[in-house]
């Protein structure tokens, strides 16, 4: 089982890197934490987008929803949220250490579960749509939720919420959030690897290949689709909660529901690495993040223009992604058995073409 | 918040002239939406490209008018200029990007045009900054119902221009060689190719025509409303609402839905308050999509 | 058992002004092989689609095991135990044959947690047995899209059996298949019927095949039920002969 060995060596490498990184690059802890988040973004997007063929442009919704849920829980467990947000930061509540950690734990849990729960009614509305309608519908949901949150004064409307401050030295705080993000991402990857190895993985692949056929075979497509989406929402919700705490201040349009940045990054990274594979999105995310961090600050306002150009070039000229390209080139290394001799000169092959 | 909504509703019932005023405002902007929607229906129907950059092409047209106004060109003259410039721009976009995604799966065209959308808005932001801009027409306004209802002349002018443009496109599609070729290609591209129609050219022309329509629409937007580099997405969503609700190749449906959307938006704007304006538009989209699903469910089908 | 597993009563369906099915009634007896023949455009596939839920009917009743299904949708009907194969074969072309088989397990009476069951064990064993049954065992690890058309048809048939249906509706199982393979296919259809107890309802153009296979045959023409009976009765029925030769 070489595929299995390869998986475990990649896991070992990632975990080793994750543990060593804060010591090797102490000045870049936050950037590397964001890199883990990007990996999580790309991998969780790929569950619906790559494995199931449901290309969402609105997964960022769950990131923001998780972030807001954790904020409300973390503040609301000890103070009145409406009063807190109405004061625009004038009230600076002091959380004891115990209160802070309790809030954080419950906040993260509520963020994951809450985002997953919210994904179900949203899923019922949009998962019945196919192809472009689904993509546009999810984009619509993301924009609508962002706009509604910006108009909802209970959570601070457009002005946002300040998160409780980590009760310790700043460097220690970023290490804590780094560790949380790292553990979450690795956990997510292990979970997805297991998920894709079960009947569930087959079912969502079948939905991608031919959903009508899957329906005709009696697969509960709606159940599978909403479950797959809820898993993605769960991990995105927690990552949003961690990111909100890491940043310290959340607001709807730029931090919580950035459709045009994180929202589209997920898709671009997944496609760059190769969608529909476990490691493609990971590779895409790492490459994308490194290139972005290295070049972003030198571009002097041109970075967003460059981003648009990258997406176009990625889509138009390099659609199958790095892993897709590699598996076309070396199919045997990916466990694909293509028996050309059996098919190429088979007389039935002509009949197939004639029938099409 | 609910008190506010009820208050606004009671204003409408107490002073019906406001309701009439909103209706007219809705019709004026509805005409603009219908144009953008028609353009999308065209590229969607003919080349099966879901153009997410639709709204950004509109805004780009608006900025052309803005730039020309800064150079002292009157917006009415700017309209044909924007039409021609955007036609050329659309052709260029087709050759560089769209040609390579036409035959690919649907998500590809969606994402490629999303990238294009980012590119256009960020470039405009870079050049003109994120401020909201208007183009002054220098025209007066008319009063109705003892000054309770004021209709600026520029709105009437824009409605006239939109109608002229729409009529021109309809005549073109029906009687010109290229219009016939476009209609033939939309029905069956392979058959059209076999019969000697250069579908690549038809596609290029279709996308360029859509871009030109959007450009002209943008000039009207800049005249009667405001433009801003990031407003494009809302026009894209509006165009998608119109096409989804009306269906492809249904011109009267597109015009009717365009007006309907304009009016619905004006009323929801007034009743809910302007902070919900964008949310309302997007929720219209979600509702239209759900409604289509229910419709299809009844005939044992899905929305695809 | 001689009861009818499918009962179609007075079903009509038209597309725009074109009447595809008009007032069709037929029975598919449980445990038997029933045939459906008719010239091109006589409404056979339309009837299939009505039965399995691809489109609404204009009127009439369709019962499966006594239960009304004319309002139900495809996946619900499939879970009751009625499956169909397609004229243009449909398989999951980017997955290998074993995956294609394993995903086709029956979804009747399975709990939510079965979604996450492992791919190994019982399901895999059964998939291998059925692949052996249709003669594709040696190709089990190939990507199914790479198979020839005939092999894809066999795979689709095996996938349908994997689902353990009560009734299988086959739309032209021999169309596009190499003539030398047809006898093998007939043999397998019969064995599926006898050994697995699957009721078959078959659309077929190849008269030799359907006459050998079916115990009872219905003939459609111009959307109407033209005749029905035992194969040898139908073979000598003047109406059927005329319909195939184009006379009215």
Mutation target among A199, A211, A212, A341 for the C interface, most CBs of C within 10 A = A199
DSSP state at residue C35: E
Measured between alpha carbons, how far apart are the two ends of chain A, in Å? 38
* Residue appearing with tokens 């995105």: A236
Q: Which residues in A7-41 are b (16+ Cβ under 10 Å) and which e?
A: beebeeebeeebeebbeeeeeebeebbbbbbbbbb
Mean of the per-residue pLDDT values of chain B:
86
Residue B71 lies in a domain: yes
Q: What is the pLDDT of residue A345?
A: 40
Q: State mean pLDDT over A76-103.
A: 81
B298 to each of A215, B247, C12, C76, C225, how far by Cα in Å? 17, 18, 17, 14, 28
Nearest CA to A285 among A35, A58, A14?
A35
Residues B153-208: tens digit of each pLDDT: 888 888 888 889 888 988 998 899 998 898 888 888 888 888 888 889 999 999 99
Angle at alpha carbon of residue A74, lines to A70 and A78, rounded to 5°: 155
Q: State mean pLDDT over A126-131.
A: 84
Please give the Cα distance from C4 to B19 (Å, whole number): 64
Looking at mean pLDDT, say which of A53-57, A159-163, A242-246, C233-237 comes out highest.
A242-246
Q: What is the pLDDT of residue B303?
A: 62
Residue B282 lies in a domain: yes
Asked whether residue B148 carries a pLDDT value surpassing 80, the answer given is: no
* Residue appearing with tokens 């594709």: C136
Nearest CA to A232 among A32, A34, A56, A8?
A56
Please give the Cα distance from C140 to C123 (Å, whole number): 14
Nearest CA to A125 among A145, A111, A110?
A145
What is the count of structural domains for chain A? 1
**A278, two tokens:** 């476990």
pTM beyond 0.80: the answer is yes
**B161, two tokens:** 């221009």
Please give the Cα distance from C101 to B302 (Å, whole number): 26
Chain B closest CA to A40's CA: distance in Å? 21
Instruction: Label residue A335 by pLDDT band (50, 70, 90).
Output: low
Would you say A123 and A230 are in contact if contact means Cβ atoms under 8 Å apart?
A: yes
* Residue appearing with tokens 């007006």: B259
Would you call B121 exposed, middle or buried from its count of C-beta atoms within 10 A (0-12, 13-18, 19+)?
buried
Nearest CA to C69 among C84, C51, C85?
C51
Contacts of residue B291, defined as CB under 8 A and 6 or more positions apart, other chains included, come to none
Instruction: Label residue A341 by pLDDT band (50, 70, 90).
Output: very low
Please give the Cα distance from A199 to A75 (Å, whole number): 41
Chain B positions touching A148 (Cβ under 8 A) are 276, 279
Instruction: Check CB contact under 8 Å for A311 and B112.
Output: yes
Residue A335 lies in a domain: no
- The CATH code for residues C1-81+167-179+201-248 is 3.40.50.300
* Residue appearing with tokens 């890197």: A17
Would you say B212 and B88 are in contact if contact means Cβ atoms under 8 Å apart?
A: no
DSSP state at residue B249: T
Scanning B225-276, the segments in alpha helix (DSSP H) are 232-246, 251-272
Residue A334 lies in a domain: no
Classify strands C216-221 and C33-37 as parallel, antiparallel or unpaired: parallel
DSSP state at residue B49: -
Contacts of residue C9, defined as CB under 8 A and 6 or more positions apart, other chains included, come to C25, C60, C61, C62, C63
Pick from B100, B118, B290: CB nearest A308: B118
Residue % of chain A over a pLDDT of 70 = 92
Please give the Cα distance from A257 to A155 (Å, whole number): 14
| Structural domain that includes position B98 | 2-298
Please give the Cα distance from B102 to A220 (Å, whole number): 33
Mean of the per-residue pLDDT values of chain A:
85
Angle at alpha carbon of residue A109, lines to A105 and A110, rounded to 5°: 115
Residues A154-183: tens digit of each pLDDT: 888 778 888 888 888 878 888 999 999 999
Instruction: Check CB contact under 8 Å for C107 and A199.
Output: no
Residue B303 lies in a domain: no
* Of B270-274, B283-287, C12-16, C117-121, the least confident: C117-121
Q: What is the pLDDT of residue A39?
A: 96
Q: What is the pLDDT of residue A236?
A: 96
Please give the Cα distance from A10 to A21 (Å, whole number): 16
Mutation target among B300, B301, B302, B304 for the C interface, most CBs of C within 10 A = B300
CB pairs under 8 A between A and B: 121
Please give the Cα distance from A125 to A134 (Å, whole number): 10
> How far from the centroid of its chain's Cα atoms is residue C55's Cα?
17
Q: How many Cα atoms sit within 13 Å of B71 on the Cβ side?
A: 9
| Structural domain that includes position A161 | 2-263
Would you say C119 and A202 are in contact if contact means Cβ atoms under 8 Å apart?
A: yes
Q: Which residues pair with C28 in a beta bridge?
A: C6
Chain B closest CA to A125's CA: distance in Å? 6
Would you say B182 and B46 are in contact if contact means Cβ atoms under 8 Å apart?
A: yes
Would you say A271 and A45 are in contact if contact means Cβ atoms under 8 Å apart?
A: no
Residues B272-291: tens digit of each pLDDT: 877 787 888 888 888 888 88
Chain B closest CA to C108's CA: distance in Å? 21
Chain B positions touching A131 (Cβ under 8 A) are 106-107, 304
Phi first, then psi: what are they for C46, rounded to 5°?
-60, -45
Would you say B220 and B162 are in contact if contact means Cβ atoms under 8 Å apart?
A: yes
What is the count of structural domains for chain B? 1
Domain spans in chain C, listed from the N-terminal domain onward: 1-81+167-179+201-248, 90-164
Residue % of chain A over a pLDDT of 90 = 39
Nearest CA to A134 among B58, B214, B250, B111?
B111
* Residue appearing with tokens 């259809």: C189
Would you say B45 and B186 are in contact if contact means Cβ atoms under 8 Å apart?
A: yes
Asked whether residue A343 carries a pLDDT value surpassing 50, the answer given is: no
Please give the Cα distance from B166 to B162 (Å, whole number): 6
Q: Is any Cβ of chain B less than 8 angstroms from the Cβ of C54?
A: yes
Please give the Cα distance from A167 to A94 (Å, whole number): 9
B219 to each of B87, B117, B233, B255, how far by Cα in Å? 14, 18, 17, 19
Pick from C75, C92, C175: CB nearest A205: C92
Q: Is any Cβ of chain B less than 8 angstroms from the Cβ of A173?
A: no
Dihedral-angle region of residue C80 (phi above 0 means left; psi in -120 to 50 means alpha; beta otherwise):
alpha
Q: Is any Cβ of chain B less than 8 angstroms from the Cβ of C74?
A: yes
Q: What is the pLDDT of residue B285?
A: 85
Q: Which residues pair with C13 in a beta bridge?
A: C21
Q: Is any Cβ of chain B less than 8 angstroms from the Cβ of C244?
A: no
DSSP state at residue A47: I
Instruction: Check CB contact under 8 Å for C75 and A203.
Output: no
Instruction: Label residue B300 by pLDDT band (50, 70, 90).
Output: low
Please give the Cα distance from C135 to C177 (Å, whole number): 14
Residues B55-102: tens digit of each pLDDT: 999 999 999 999 999 998 888 889 999 999 999 999 999 999 888 888
Q: What is the pLDDT of residue A347?
A: 41
Max Cα separation, chain B?
65
Mean of the per-residue pLDDT values of chain C:
85
This model of the complex carries an ipTM of 0.84
Enumerate neighbours of C (3 or more CB pairs within 8 A): A, B
Please give the Cα distance from A292 to A306 (Å, whole number): 10
Instruction: Check CB contact under 8 Å for B301 and C55.
Output: yes
Residues B199-235: tens digit of each pLDDT: 899 999 999 999 999 999 999 999 888 899 988 888 9
A246 to each of A70, A250, A356, B213, B297, how far by Cα in Å? 12, 10, 55, 46, 45
C178 to each of A265, A353, C160, C226, how far by Cα in Å? 49, 14, 21, 31
Q: Is any Cβ of chain B less than 8 angstroms from the Cβ of C56?
A: yes
Instruction: Label residue A346 by pLDDT band (50, 70, 90).
Output: very low
Asked whether residue B135 carries a pLDDT value surpassing 90, the answer given is: no
Instruction: Label residue A336 by pLDDT band (50, 70, 90).
Output: low
Asked whether residue A188 carries a pLDDT value surpassing 90, the answer given is: yes
Asked whether residue C61 carries a pLDDT value surpassing 50, the answer given is: yes
Nearest CA to A266 among A92, A138, A112, A127?
A138
Q: What is the pLDDT of residue B302?
A: 64
Phi first, then psi: what are they for C19, rounded to 5°?
-85, 115
Chain B positions touching C54 (Cβ under 8 A) are 300
């Amino acid at each position: 089982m070489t595929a299995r060995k390869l998986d475990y060596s990649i896991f070992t490498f990632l975990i080793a890197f994750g543990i060593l990184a804060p010591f090797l690059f102490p000045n870049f802890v936050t950037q590397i934490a964001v890199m883990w988040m990007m990996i999580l973004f790309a991998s969780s997007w790929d569950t619906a987008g790559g494995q199931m063929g449901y290309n969402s442009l609105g997964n960022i919704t769950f990131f923001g929803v998780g972030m807001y849920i954790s904020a409300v829980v973390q503040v609301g467990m000890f103070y009145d949220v409406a009063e807190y947000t109405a004061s625009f930061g004038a009230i600076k509540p002091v959380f004891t250490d115990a209160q802070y950690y309790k809030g954080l734990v419950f906040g993260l849990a509520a963020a994951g579960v809450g985002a997953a729960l919210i994904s179900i009614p949203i899923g019922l509305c949009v998962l019945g749509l196919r192809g472009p309608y689904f993509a546009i519908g999810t984009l619509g949901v993301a924009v609508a939720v962002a706009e509604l949150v910006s108009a909802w004064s209970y959570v601070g409307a457009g002005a946002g919420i300040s998160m409780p401050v980590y009760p310790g030295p700043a460097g220690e705080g970023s290490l804590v959030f780094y560790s949380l993000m790292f553990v979450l991402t690795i956990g997510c990857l292990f979970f997805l690897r297991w998920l894709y190895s079960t009947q569930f993985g087959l079912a969502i692949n079948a939905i991608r290949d031919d959903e009508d056929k899957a329906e005709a075979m009696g697969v509960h497509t709606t159940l599978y689709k909403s479950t797959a989406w809820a898993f993605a929402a769960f991990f995105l919700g927690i990552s949003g909660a961690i990111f909100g705490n890491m940043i310290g201040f959340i607001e709807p349009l730029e931090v919580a529901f950035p459709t045009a940045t994180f929202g589209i990054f997920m898709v671009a990274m997944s496609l760059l690495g190769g969608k529909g594979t476990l490691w493609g999105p990971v590779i895409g995310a790492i490459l994308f993040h490194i290139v972005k961090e290295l070049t972003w600050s030198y571009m002097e306002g041109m970075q967003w223009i460059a981003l648009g150009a990258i997406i176009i070039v990625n889509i138009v000229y390099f659609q199958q992604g790095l892993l897709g390209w590699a598996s076309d080139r070396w199919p045997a290394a990916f466990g694909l058995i293509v028996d050309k001799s059996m098919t190429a000169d088979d007389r039935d092959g002509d009949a197939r073409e004639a029938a099409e | 918040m609910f008190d506010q909504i009820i208050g606004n509703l009671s204003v409408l019932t107490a002073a019906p002239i406001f309701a009439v005023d909103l209706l007219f405002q809705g019709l004026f902007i509805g005409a603009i939406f219908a144009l953008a929607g028609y353009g999308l229906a065209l590229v969607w129907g003919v080349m099966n490209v879901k153009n997410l950059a639709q709204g950004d092409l509109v805004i780009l047209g608006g900025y052309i008018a803005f730039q020309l106004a800064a150079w002292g060109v009157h917006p009415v003259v700017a309209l044909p200029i924007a039409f021609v410039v955007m036609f050329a721009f659309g052709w260029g976009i087709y050759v560089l990007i769209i040609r390579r995604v036409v035959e690919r799966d649907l998500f590809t065209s969606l994402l490629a045009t999303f990238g294009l959308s980012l590119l256009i808005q960020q470039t405009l932001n870079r050049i003109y900054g994120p401020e909201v801009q208007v183009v002054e027409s220098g025209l007066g306004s008319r009063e109705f119902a003892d000054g309770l209802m004021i209709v600026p002349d520029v709105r009437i002018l824009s409605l006239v221009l939109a109608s002229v443009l729409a009529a021109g496109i309809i005549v073109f599609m029906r009687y010109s060689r290229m219009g016939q070729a476009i209609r033939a290609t939309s029905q069956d591209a392979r058959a059209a190719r076999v019969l000697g129609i250069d579908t690549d050219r038809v596609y290029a022309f279709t996308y360029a025509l859509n871009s030109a329509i959007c450009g002209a629409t943008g000039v009207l937007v800049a005249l009667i409303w405001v433009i801003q580099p990031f407003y494009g997405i809302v026009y894209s969503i509006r165009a998608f609402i119109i096409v989804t609700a009306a269906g492809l190749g249904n011109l009267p449906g597109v015009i009717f839905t365009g007006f309907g959307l304009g009016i619905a938006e004006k009323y929801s704007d007034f009743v809910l308050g302007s902070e919900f304006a964008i949310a309302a538009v997007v929720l219209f989209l979600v509702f239209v999509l759900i409604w289509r699903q229910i419709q299809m469910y009844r005939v044992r089908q899905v929305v695809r | 058992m001689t009861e009818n597993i499918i009962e179609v009563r007075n079903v009509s369906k038209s597309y725009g002004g074109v009447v595809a099915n008009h007032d069709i009634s037929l029975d598919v007896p449980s445990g038997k092989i029933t045939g459906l023949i008719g010239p091109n455009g006589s409404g056979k596939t339309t009837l299939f689609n009505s039965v399995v839920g691809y489109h609404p009917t204009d009127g009439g009743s369709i019962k499966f095991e006594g239960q009304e299904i004319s309002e139900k949708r495809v996946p619900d009907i499939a879970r009751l135990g009625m499956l169909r194969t397609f004229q243009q074969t449909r398989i999951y072309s980017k997955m290998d044959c074993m995956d294609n088989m394993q995903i086709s397990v029956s979804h009747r009476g399975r709990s939510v947690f079965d979604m996450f069951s492992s791919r190994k064990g019982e399901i895999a064993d059964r998939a291998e047995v059925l692949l052996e049954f249709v003669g594709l065992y040696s190709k089990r690890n190939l990507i199914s899209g790479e198979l020839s058309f005939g092999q894809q048809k066999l795979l689709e048939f095996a996938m349908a059996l994997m689902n353990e249906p009560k009734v299988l509706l086959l739309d032209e199982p021999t169309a596009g298949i190499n003539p030398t393979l047809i006898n093998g296919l007939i043999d397998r259809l019969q064995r599926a019927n006898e050994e697995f107890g699957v009721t078959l309802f078959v659309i077929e153009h190849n008269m030799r095949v359907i006459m050998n296979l079916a115990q009872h045959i219905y003939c459609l023409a111009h959307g109407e039920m033209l005749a029905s009976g035992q194969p040898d009765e139908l073979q000598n029925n003047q109406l059927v002969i005329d319909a195939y030769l184009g006379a009215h």
